[in-house]
């Protein structure tokens, strides 16, 4: 499957008439293909994007099977392009090659005559306030946990788990983690709600979990492009200490952690498993 990572948005640049410039960046996840083009804000449209992609086809490039985007402001625009050209569009925070290129481009803008000197953060997105998870989804119990990196994938990859999300880019071996590094996680015993919760999580597209100290403490799920959910709150000192250990272990594991949903703690049946890592 061929994948392109795409960003199309305004930059701190303007044309000779003082109109804001938009920039289109296209790359493959491996970075072996890159394409860049500017247009004025007045030209920024699905039609202009379609014309750019069709021009690439005329130059001998094949259209991708899937387009990945991380910027919610342009999702609808690129979704229109995908429908017109019959390309699947996937909203995801995991566009690492594109994000590195955006940061490189941001350093280059100040050297251009069209630079406006406006404050600019290439990856900044407006985050939504966290929303409490519906009580109808929450299970019976939950807890912080940890598994050695060597055991993490083997413990779940060969099991019959209805929802299993193990991106290659997040495998401990591909992150260069030692086999003994403890990978922190959160385990939810969902009881009768386990499969319903797992299906909701899969639709929400989990990205990362964070323990947020406060009064009370909270467990926050980052999901989708900018969504944030309060999975639970708690005031128990022992659980808070476990949450602090969870965050310390995340620092040692390059942010890698996991989320496991199961009906109970028997170890016989699992409903969903996700490898997670912050993607800000």
* Cβ within 8 Å of residue 160, ≥6 positions away: none
Q: Looking at 2-161, which runs of residues are DSSP E strands?
A: 3-14, 20-27, 34-40, 66-69, 88-91, 131-132, 141-148
pLDDT score recorded for residue 155 = 85
What is d(CA 150, CA 51) in angstroms, rounded to the nearest whole number? 48
Domain 3-109 in CATH 3.30.420.10? The answer is yes
pTM of the model: 0.89
How large is the angle between the packed helices 75-85 and 46-58, nearest 10 degrees? 50
CB 273 within 8 A of CB 258: yes
Tell me which H or E stretch contains 210.
strand 206-212
- Token pair, residue 4, equals 């392109």
Q: Alpha helix locations (H) across the chain?
A: 46-58, 75-85, 96-109, 149-157, 194-204, 237-252
Q: What is the pLDDT of residue 153?
A: 83
Tell me what pLDDT residue 40 has.
95
Tally the residues of the chain.
Answer: 280
Question: Do strands 88-91 and 66-69 pair parallel, antiparallel, or not at all (unpaired)?
Answer: parallel
Domain ranges of the chain: 3-109, 131-276
CB-based burial of residue 117 (10 Å sphere; 0-12 exposed, 13-18 middle, 19+ buried)?
Answer: exposed
10-residue mean pLDDT profile of the chain (280 residues): values are: 96 93 97 96 96 96 96 94 97 95 96 92 90 86 94 84 93 94 96 93 96 91 95 91 96 97 87 92
């Amino acid at each position: 499957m061929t994948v392109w990572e795409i960003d199309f948005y305004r930059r701190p640049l303007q044309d000779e008439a003082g109109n804001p410039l938009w920039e289109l960046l296209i790359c493959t996840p491996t970075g072996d293909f890159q394409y860049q083009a500017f247009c004025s804000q007045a030209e920024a449209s699905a039609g202009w994007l379609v014309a750019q992609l069709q021009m690439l086809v005329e130059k001998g490039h094949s259209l991708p099977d899937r387009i990945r985007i991380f910027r919610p402001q342009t999702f609808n625009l690129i979704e229109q392009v995908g429908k017109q050209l019959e390309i699947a569009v996937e909203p995801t925070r995991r566009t690492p090659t594109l994000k590195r290129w955006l940061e490189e481009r941001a350093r280059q803008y100040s050297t251009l005559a069209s630079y406006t000197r406006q404050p600019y953060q290439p990856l900044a997105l407006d985050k939504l306030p966290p929303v409490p998870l519906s009580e109808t989804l929450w299970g019976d119990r939950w807890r912080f946990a940890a598994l050695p990196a060597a055991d993490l994938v083997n413990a779940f990859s060969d099991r019959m788990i209805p929802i299993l999300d193990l991106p290659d880019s997040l495998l401990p071996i591909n992150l260069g983690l030692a086999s003994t590094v403890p990978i922190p996680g959160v385990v939810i015993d969902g009881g009768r709600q386990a499969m319903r919760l797992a299906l909701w999580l899969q639709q929400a597209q989990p990205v990362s979990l964070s323990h947020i100290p406060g009064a009370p403490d909270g467990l926050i799920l980052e999901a989708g492009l900018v969504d944030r959910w309060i999975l639970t709150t708690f005031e128990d000192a022992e659980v808070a200490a476990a949450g602090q250990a969870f965050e310390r272990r995340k620092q040692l594991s390059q942010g890698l952690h996991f989320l496991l949903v199961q009906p109970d703690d028997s170890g016989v049946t699992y409903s969903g498993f996700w490898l997670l890592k912050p993607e800000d």
